[in-house]
Structures are given as structure tokens and as C-alpha cells.
Chains A and B, each alone.
Chain A
Amino acid sequence: MAEPETNARRIAEDARDRVRFEEEVLELSDQVYRVARRLVPSREEAEDLVQDTYARAFRSWRSYTPGTNLRAWLMRILTNLNIDRGRREQRTPDMRPMEEGDYFLYNRLEEAGGSGDEQQIVERLSQDGIVRALSSVPHDFRDAIVLVDIGDFSYGEAAQILDIPIGTVMSRLHRGRRILKSQLAETAVGEEA
């Protein structure tokens, strides 16, 4: 007797949950794009990757557990799709740039001289140079930098997204930032900011 009513209610609840899920996912799109844009070389590839991520997220919304970390769930889809798209084949493991200590870039900028406020020394780096330097950091290290320093994910979230231990995230992040700074010291010092 009450069964059709129960069924109808379940369908209505299901529809409501799905709409809520889709709205929440769409609200995160700026953050998802910001990360995607630095994981792949071009804007076009980032746009394709984000679209594929959203198509898959909408299709598999039932596999998301409400109340858990939606941003990390989405990013996991994105990084897996990025790997599926064959980016691992582009790896060049033997071409890691030289890595210096953490004070190296500051020392180079200071040596390079120039006038200006001590506070603004970072602005001696060109913004384009930063983007180029980041894109030249090997993938494994760059993924960690992009997720943590640009995407604002915690170490734990990055570990979950990349499916690696948290200690590996930390070591890749630390080494990756040093590689980035070495690259910046090589390429971006002295360019117009």
C-alpha cells in the first residue's frame, strides 16, 4: 500500500542528492582548473582534462560518499585521467635539473644586485619565468608542488590523491621546491619582472 509512495520518495531524494552533488562539484571548478592548468602544458589540455573530469564525476556521483572530501575526490579523478592520457610516457627521469639548497635562489638574486626594497626582492623574478620554471620540474615533483602550493591541499590529501605515502609527498615537495628554485635561478633571474 505504502510502497509506491516510498519508491517515489526515494526517487525524489535521489534526484535531490544528485543536484546537490552537481552544484557542489561545479562550485569547485575554479580550484580544479587552477591545479589542472599547472599539471599539463597548455590551456587547451587543461580545459580538456577538466571537462573529462567533470563528465566522469557526474557519471560516477554515486561512488562519492557525502560528507567526505569532495575536492580531493575530484582531484583524484583528474590526476588518474591525466595519467591515463599517457603523460607518464613523457617522463624523462635522467634529466633532473641540478638541485641546490634552500637559500640558493635568494643568494643568486642578491648577487645579481639591482636596486629596490629588500622586501621586494622576489619581484626580481619574472612571472613568466616562474611559470616556465614550474613546467620544467619533473612530473612527480611538480604534482606535489601543484597540489600543495597551488591547490592548497594538505600533505595527507595530496597523498590520497596521488596514491602515495605521505612521507613520499613530503620528500617530493621538498625536493621539487628546491628544483624549482634552481630552475628559477638559472632562467628567471635578470629577466624583466
Chain B
Amino acid sequence: MGFESVCEQCEEMLQPYLDRELNEAERQQAEGHLDQCGYCRKRYRFEEDLRRYVRSACDEPMRAELKAKLASLRTPLD
């Protein structure tokens, strides 16, 4: 099997690897390759960074007015 096709397989495993969805044999296969391959290792690290970055870019805090409005929707105690 050529080196290129091993990297292609590794690319296919990127998302399930980070989501911890690979079985034990697949995980070992991915990690074995990542130990030796800087090309794939960089791209895996980037994917992890990207997920964190997307999360922080998309975080827009709720306005205090809305929070107060939600509390006012509660059933009044009688």
C-alpha cells in the first residue's frame, strides 16, 4: 500500500477519531500512522483547533433583557 493511500485513509478517520467513534483496531491504526506522519498529525491538530475556534466564534451571549423576560414567563405562585 502506498504512503498516499495510508494518508487518505487517515483523512477518512479524522472526524470519527476526534469524535471517539473508531473501534479499537481503527484507533490504533490511526494513532500508529499519526506517530509517523507529520503531514496528517498537523491536519488532525488543526481540526481540533478549528472545532474550538468555531465554537468560540459562534458564542454570542444572551442579552440580560431576554434572561429577565424568560424568568417573567414563570407561572406566578398563588
Contact = CB atoms under 8 A, between A and B. Distances in A.
Contact of A54 (B50, B58, B73): B73
B34 to A, nearest CB: 13
**Which of B46, B51, B55 has the most chain A CB within a 10 Å cutoff?**
B46
Interface string A39-65: 000010001001100110010000000
Contacts of A118: 42
A83 interface: no
A150 B55 contact: yes
A149 B55 contact: yes
B70 A29 contact: yes
A127 B59 CA distance: 10
B59 A130 contact: no
Nearest to B45: A119
Interface residues of B, number: 35
B15 A102 contact: yes
- Chain A contact surface mostly: helix
Given A33-B62, A50-B70, A134-B58, A105 B50 contact: yes
Interface in A115-172: 118-119, 121-123, 125, 127-128, 130-131, 134, 149-150, 155, 170
Given A30-B61, A130-B57, A102 B74 contact: no
A51 B42 contact: no
A181 B51 CA distance: 11
**Which of A30, A102, A174 has the most chain B CB within a 10 Å cutoff?**
A102
Given A33-B66, A106-B47, A177-B15, 14 more contacts: A30-B62, A37-B60, A47-B63, A50-B62, A51-B69, A58-B73, A103-B11, A119-B49, A131-B57, A131-B58, A150-B54, A173-B15, A174-B15, A180-B54
19 contacts: A15-B77, A26-B71, A26-B74, A30-B62, A37-B58, A47-B66, A50-B62, A51-B69, A51-B73, A58-B73, A105-B46, A106-B46, A109-B46, A119-B49, A149-B55, A150-B54, A150-B55, A155-B21, A174-B16
Interface of A: 15, 18-19, 22, 26, 29-30, 33-34, 37-38, 43, 47, 50-51, 54-55, 58, 101-103, 105-106, 109, 118-119, 121-123, 125, 127-128, 130-131, 134, 149-150, 155, 170, 173-174, 177, 180-181
